[in-house]
Structure 1
Amino acid sequence: MKKNFKLVIEYDGTNYAGWQRQNNAITVQKILEEVLEKLTGRNINVIGCSRTDSGVHARGFICNFVTETTIPPSKIKYAINNLLPNDIVILDSSEVPINFHSRYNCIKKTYTYTILNREEPAAINRNYVYHFKRPLDIDLMKKGSEFLIGTHEFDSFRKIGSSVKTTTRTIYSIDIEKQEYYIKFNITGNGFLYNMVRIIVGTLLDVGVGKMTPESVKEILLAKDRSKAGMSLPAQGLCLEKIYY
């Protein structure tokens, strides 16, 4: 009998061209499917909750796959982890209803973007933060972020040329917290456009250094013009934290 397995995955995206399988590229999905084929002797299509870009990390990525196996659901994570490289780890495995779909059943997602805000760059965790030298005003950035909360058309905050049926998304919360030299942006929404989180944070950095006012964020949102927003920050500071069902 076929079973539907759900996996919770943590991975370091530094050496991968994102999650989704691609020709002539090493991706997390490709590696995982190769491991599952070794375990089951079958070609398995793994369904991911999201398409993380090259260099983006994940702490709570969810995927699922349907197959026949005698390995107990709670034990399959150990079998998979034994064959995975050390930058991909299965945190949990379970059996779910056969109609569960990790992407289509998702109701919201939380991403974080981490800034190292000091003069000196990072040596140890340089692959997980974006180094930004100029001092940032947290209060100004928080005020600017408030204009993004709610349901809006986020045309100004997506990569030019990316195709999508609708640019309407709902942002439930944007929390900005500082701990020593690190500033973390926690953004939760029902979905995100291509590069949306990275552009939002890039725009808020412009607010934080006084390049634009907090109220400018509202004007950028209403303009529906990518050129009005800030830069799209590099991938390494971005991490998919949690998926909600």
Structure 2
Amino acid sequence: MRVALGVEYSGWNYAGFQRQWHAPAIQNELEQALSKIAAEPIELKCAGRTDAGVSATGQVIHFDTTKERSERAWVLGTNTNLPKDIAITWAKIVPDEFHARFSARARRYRYILQNTDYRPGILQKGVSLYRGEYDVEAMHDAAQILLGENDFSSFKSAQDENPHAMRNVHFINVMRRGRYIIFDIQANAFLHHMVRNIVGSLLLVGDKSKDKDWLKMVFEARNREIAGPTAQAEGLYLVHVTYEDHWQLPIRPEDMGPLWI
């Protein structure tokens, strides 16, 4: 039996999604909890290996098991054995051909920053803090340069082992919601730190340190060293993974982003 699960988690207490031997990781906790419900060792695959400090409302995983359990049992039973900052949101028995990573057609991330002079008292780790004035319209306009299938080497971290940096960005929207500035970006796939590096460069446009022409030059140069700094991890969320309709995976409205957006 192959089972797909929806997962949400707060990532700031973990060294990332991928299994770690010497640090806490989301995958470790999920596999331990699932193994208890299945009464056998479980090894899972995910749609996107989020970095340390990055959270998710719409992560998707799958695993194979010889044990038959109801979809409800996979949700409720696994949640009983998970820490409070990780939760299964849905379960679906899927064909063996389904793969959480390779069947995905798009990933959507949102980056949320609090734009105030004071630090957050409630969402201390749920958002990043950036003081000063930012021109949201200028950032949104400049971001449209990045649409389509292009080489994103300028926004690829040195640790990224992908052989090429071609990615297809479907949309980037920058908007303000009260004290928050939200960057909403979807692509077929992402490079390591790609979203945070794009946000870091757009913030230079937003505070008038740089302009749209500079971002275009950086993009075309394919040189990470001349782009903006990497934005903080705490504001980044994997909010949705898109699959073809024939898989019939559940879609919750809240998967499209954190509650306060």
Please classify the TM superposition score into its range, dividing by the shorter chain length: over 0.9
> Deviation string for 1:17-56 (max 9, x for gaps)?
1111011111111111111221222111111111100110
Calculate percent identity across the aligned residue pairs.
33
2:258 — aligned with what? Answer: none
Q: How does 1:15-164 map to 2 (within 5 A)?
A: 15-164=13-162
Flag the 1:189–1:4 CA change in 2: closer, same or farther, 3 A: same
Find the aligned partners of 2:173 and 2:85 in 1 and give their Cα distance. Answer: 28
49-58 or 38-47, which moves further after superposition? Answer: 38-47
Equivalent pair of 2:57/2:240 in contact (CA under 8 Å): yes
Length-normalised TM-score, structure 2: 0.91
Find the aligned partners of 2:120 and 2:12 in 1 and give their Cα distance. Answer: 15
Equivalent pair of 1:74/1:94 in contact (CA under 8 Å): no
Structure 1 residue 227: Cα displacement = 1.4
Structure 1 residue 197: Cα displacement = 0.2
Equivalent pair of 2:140/2:175 in contact (CA under 8 Å): no
> Deviation string for 1:72-119 (max 9, x for gaps)?
123310111111111001000110111110001111000000111111
Structure 1 residue 161: Cα displacement = 4.1
Find the aligned partners of 1:41 and 1:75 in 2 and give their Cα distance. Answer: 13
What residue ranges of structure 2 are gaps of 5+ in the alignment?
244-261
What residue ranges of structure 1 are gaps of 5+ in the alignment?
none
1:166 — aligned with what? Answer: 164
Helix, strand or coil: the match of 2:29?
Answer: helix
Find the aligned partners of 1:43 and 1:244 in 2 and give their Cα distance. Answer: 28
- Please, what is the CA RMSD of the aligned residues? 0.9
Equivalent pair of 2:137/2:174 in contact (CA under 8 Å): no
64-73 or 128-137, which moves further after superposition? Answer: 64-73
1:200 — aligned with what? Answer: 198
Helix, strand or coil: the match of 2:104?
Answer: coil
Find the aligned partners of 2:238 and 2:78 in 1 and give their Cα distance. Answer: 21
Corresponding residue pairs, total: 243
Find the aligned partners of 1:7 and 1:28 in 2 and give their Cα distance. Answer: 14
Amino acid at match of 1:89: A
Find the aligned partners of 1:66 and 1:204 in 2 and give their Cα distance. Answer: 41
Structure 1 residue 70: Cα displacement = 2.9
1:228 — aligned with what? Answer: 226
Find the aligned partners of 1:179 and 1:41 in 2 and give their Cα distance. Answer: 46
2:250 — aligned with what? Answer: none
Helix, strand or coil: the match of 1:134?
Answer: coil
Helix, strand or coil: the match of 1:75?
Answer: helix
Find the aligned partners of 2:135 and 2:117 in 1 and give their Cα distance. Answer: 16
> Deviation string for 1:179-208 (max 9, x for gaps)?
111001000001111100001001000000
Find the aligned partners of 1:164 and 1:243 in 2 and give their Cα distance. Answer: 20
